[in-house]
Chain A
Amino acid sequence: MSIVHPDQAVELAPGVHWIGALDPHLRRFDIILSTANGTSYNAYLVRGEQGVAVIDTVKEAFADDFFRRLESVARYDEITTIVLNHLEPDHSGALPELLRRAPNARVYLSSRAQMMLKALLKPSSNQAPPDYTPVTTGDTIDLGGRTLAFFHTPYLHWPDTQCTWLVEEGMLFSGDVFGCHYCDPRLFNDRVGDFRFSFEYYYAHIMRPFRAHVLDALELLEPLDIRLIAPAHGPILRHHPRDYLARYREMATPRLALDTEAAGEKTLAVFYLSAYGNTRSMAEAIAIGAERIAGVRVSLFDLEGGDTAHFTDLIEAADGLAFGSPTLNGDAAPPIWALLSSLTTVNVKGKFGAAFGSYGWSGEAVRLIEDRLRGLKLRVPVEGLRLKLAPDASELDACRTLGETLARHLVGEAMPREVDLASLS
């Protein structure tokens, strides 16, 4: 039975209400995410003896629902505080209008959110900029008998994201963390349908690239005596809320640690495609060269023998990556591009990368792959190797040297060198 009714807020505790909006017909979110159950834009209101706080807003198209629910539990002139846990438009769409209606309110947001706030209010430039205060872990606001405390949890999943903790009620307003695209008017996790898939799908697509930041955030949040998690999308988690923190920790932790980690070894994954065996010969020589360096474990993968999802897992886990492709009609082979365009769900920033490949006429693939690696924010410390047709003995030596140099970078033993910028491609 529906808990959400039109025009009415939903009470979470006396003076604490859900004032969000439901979007049951949405099937695709932000172009890349699918949802079979729509989504919700959760916003909340907390009443203290000396003021009222609104935590997040909703997507602009749903602003009317939000304002009607807000008006059912508070007057605009009572609002002293607007907390923005995350400024993406699905949570800040109603903000410009809320600022117009609640001119006494001060905005609280993370320091990284300040520039975004200015950009967000650009379309309404005839409006005076709001008063705002950047906050971080340790900062609190006293609403009179109710305290909001802030936790700096950046990159979950934007640089600006933070969580807000209602101390007296043990409620965590977590923004997108612990959220999912699942719309159900029964609202609470002990009442809605089975949303486990949506919860894990959301993590896999939104939070996984920021796995290290997830673990940092869990360190901050796990010590709290959490009685309810109020995320910005999906069911409100009041039944066994700590289970969701535990599931996040599981998902952010590698399933099975490689013994390389225990040994402090670095890993290099070499991926290749080869039409005539020449690029394969290069890959094998690069692997042999890399293995000369103690503390580096090398894996070799033919892209024809697997699928993108598995290779994405391997790439996430590797410290260094080398990609080899022949040149076909002036470009790298399509499976390389399929793989390199599928890495938005994992963090590859700062990994070491290199490119190589054999070619017949023009050999553009290597430079194109290098450009893509740099675009993905990999570090490309060694100039890629492009060889005409089958590599001879000296060219295989060059491949081994490339592998060895890349491996030295992985273990922090790169040879100091001096170069002129003009000599670099």
Chain B
Amino acid sequence: MPKAKVIFEDIGVAVTVPAGTRLIEVSEKVGAGITYGCREGECCTCLTKVISGGDNLAAPSVLEDQVLKDNMAPRNHRLACQAQILGGEVVVRPA
């Protein structure tokens, strides 16, 4: 299975993950500072800043786009419960 790497800048942990993994599935396991609420892309609790490698995340769905807009999320921010890591390397930290 293709692999990808996600780096949680706030705790200095790099995790190798299978392509297709959602950020929240990893951040929770390593104790990164990204917390979650509904896990369904509605509450915006898991807003995450993408420091680099944003192109390695699957594009936001219509739902995620709307939630980011409603919550006035700055550029380069994603919902950890929605964003899937497709490959390469992504560096993130809590928003």
Contact = CB atoms under 8 A, between A and B. Distances in A.
Interface of A: 111-112, 114-115, 134, 159, 349-350, 352, 374, 377, 379-382, 409, 414-421, 424-425
B91 to A, nearest CB: 13
B95 interface: no
Nearest to A418: B14
Contacts of A379: 11, 31-33, 35
B43 A421 contact: no
A115 to B, nearest CB: 6
B43 A159 contact: yes
B71 A421 contact: no
Given A414-B13, A421-B25, A424-B15, 17 more contacts: A111-B71, A112-B44, A112-B71, A115-B67, A115-B70, A379-B11, A379-B31, A379-B35, A382-B31, A416-B13, A416-B14, A418-B13, A420-B15, A421-B16, A421-B26, A424-B30, A425-B29
Interface of B: 11-18, 21, 25-26, 28-33, 35-36, 42-44, 67, 70-72
A27 B28 CA distance: 39
Contacts of B67: 115
A377 B37 CA distance: 9
Contact of B72 (A111, A352, A420): A111
A416 B67 CA distance: 33
A159 B33 CA distance: 19
Nearest to A352: B31
Nearest to B4: A421
Contacts of B11: 379, 381, 409, 414
A381 B70 contact: no
Contacts of A381: 11, 13, 30-32
Given A111-B70, A111-B72, A115-B42, A419 B35 contact: no
